[in-house]
Amino acid sequence: MMKKKSKAMFLVAAVLLICGSAWAADPPPWLNSVRQAVGASMSEIGAAPGDRNLLVLTNAGYGSIESQSTEVFLDTAQQVTGCTFGTRSLLALHSSLQEPLWWALYRKDTGKLVFRRPAPV
């Protein structure tokens, strides 16, 4: 029984490693423009990365861009905003897989909210 579990865990780890390295080696073509758009959203709301008053809501990982997964956006949002799942300042909301990627930045001390959907690629 233990050998079967070990083999299954090895197989899962190998698949994750292969898939992860594919993303790392070849980011989706829309990623840079989306990164810039999140930066512009940060400027518009007047927040700096790591601002304790900032909350990011997104459907990344569920929504798509041209039928491509948007999971990589979660890393981008963390890098640009400084928000994380661990601090509960980055929240991914479920949506249909056919719905386009969107994100909202909310600054609780000023009540400002910026909502964006990236332009089609």
* The pLDDT value given to residue 4: 66
Q: What end-to-end distance do the CA atoms of the chain give, in Å?
A: 49
Rounded CA-CA distance 47/11 in Å is 43
CATH code 3.30.1330.20 for 29-116: yes
**pLDDT tens series, the chain, 121 aa:** 556 666 666 666 656 555 554 445 688 999 999 999 999 999 999 999 999 999 999 999 999 998 889 999 999 999 999 999 999 999 999 999 889 999 999 999 999 999 999 876 5
Residue 67 CB neighbours (<10 A): 7
Beta strand 68-69 with 64-65 is: antiparallel
What is the structure's pLDDT at 2?
57
- Domain boundaries defined on the chain: 29-116
